[in-house]
Amino acid sequence: MNKVKGLIAATFAAYKKDGSIDLDAIPSYVEYLIEQNVSGVFVCGTNGEGPNLTVEERMAITEKYIASVAGRLLVFVHVGHSSIIEAQRLAAHAQEQGADYISSVSAFYFKPTSVNNLVDCMAQIAAAAPKLPFFYYHIPALTGIQIDMIQFLQLAEQKIPNLAGIKYTAATIHEYQACLHYKGGKFDILFGYDELLLPALAVGAKGAIGSTYNYGAKLYAKVMDYFSEGKLEEAEKLHFQAVKMIQLLVKYGPIPTQRAIMKKVGLNLGISRLPLVALNGEQEQNLYLDLSDSDFLSLVASC
């Protein structure tokens, strides 16, 4: 299996005014992302509000993305669910529809209590789509699952034949590096913290999945180019522009802020479902002023 390279955009959910999912928004969203030169899309994950959607909605979104992409981008489908049976349904559906990869978080209500327990759960989900490469989605900040990922790989490689690797969304760069080097780089470890992309490149990252790649991919791609060319000072300065933008996500709230930024670049994806709350008018205007001061979107456009 070839390893994934480049930037994968973790797409946002699109809603109509009545709160139902907006499938019609997906084709233009895909065309926009293709213009941003991303390598693929990761659908129904954290930013796609997968846990807030019904299984039927997630299936419909998956079908629409696969049809709209039409082979031009890689399609990762997040199938994680608190119910393993529902996750299996999503995995089997993704395989049937022609997705390229599946990925799953751990259950986040009744949580696995050990590495063995986690691997057994992921093995059942991955087995529902045996033809698709499977990525475990490691995001301890949201799931609360703090488990040694090297131990996970050691056990998972024995029980998950289609294990491709890990979507590693954590700030523990040393463990990320250890996973990259496990058995000579046997598995694909995709990095998931956009604000730490440059440090991840320094320890060997080649592929990354993230939310800010939806509207900032060209800037991050330039950071990757500078790094590969040995222009480390230029890479650091440009990467810091992304860091300053990400500080706004902390200030206003990650997903609502980014949905407002997507509206700013021309894609109005509607209002998230509760418990997520959209920025109010004043917050949105303040965000746009901060964005203008940072010049981030202009930098992206110039890359």
Token pair in block for residue 192: 């998931």
Residue 27 has pLDDT above 80, yes or no: yes
pLDDT at 295: 87
**Which tens digits make up the pLDDT trace of 199-252?**
999 999 999 999 999 999 999 999 999 999 999 999 999 999 999 999 999 999
Do you find a cis peptide bond into 161, omega within 30 degrees of 0? Answer: no
Name residue, tokens 């940072």: 294
Whole-angstrom distance, CA of residue 210 vs CA of residue 229: 23
Q: Terminal CA-to-CA distance of the chain, rounded, Å? A: 31
- pLDDT of 263 > 90? The answer is yes
Instruction: Give residue-wise pLDDT tens across range 108-150.
Output: 899 999 999 999 999 999 999 999 999 999 999 989 888 999 9
Q: Report phi then psi at 243, rounded to 5.
A: -60, -45
Domain ranges across the chain: 6-218
> Which pLDDT does position 294 carry in this prediction?
86
Which two structure tokens, joined as six digits, stand for 189? 């470890």
In the prediction, which pLDDT does 41 show? 98
Beta bridge partners of 207: 6
Catalytic residues: 137, 167
Nearest to 217 by CA among 9, 23, 14, 56: 9
Predicted pLDDT of residue 50: 96
User: What percent of the chain clears pLDDT 90, i.e. is strictly above it?
Assistant: 95
At 200 the pLDDT is: 98
For strand 74-78 and strand 101-104, is the pairing parallel, antiparallel, or unpaired? Answer: parallel
**Residue 264: band (very low, low, confident or very high) from pLDDT cuts 50, 70, 90:** very high
Mean pLDDT of 83-98: 98
Query: Does the pLDDT at position 1 exceed 80?
Result: no
Calculate the average pLDDT of the chain. 96
Task: Write down the pTM of the prediction.
Answer: 0.97
For the segment 166-205, what is each residue's pLDDT rounded down to a tens digit? 999 999 999 999 999 999 999 999 999 999 999 999 999 9
- Assigned superfamily of 6-218: Aldolase class I (3.20.20.70)
Angle between helices 213-228 and 232-252 (to 10 degrees): 160
Residue 207: the pLDDT is 98
140-144: long-range pairs with CB below 8 Å, 24+: 140/170, 141/169, 141/170, 142/46, 142/105, 142/108, 143/105, 143/106, 143/108, 143/111, 144/108, 144/111
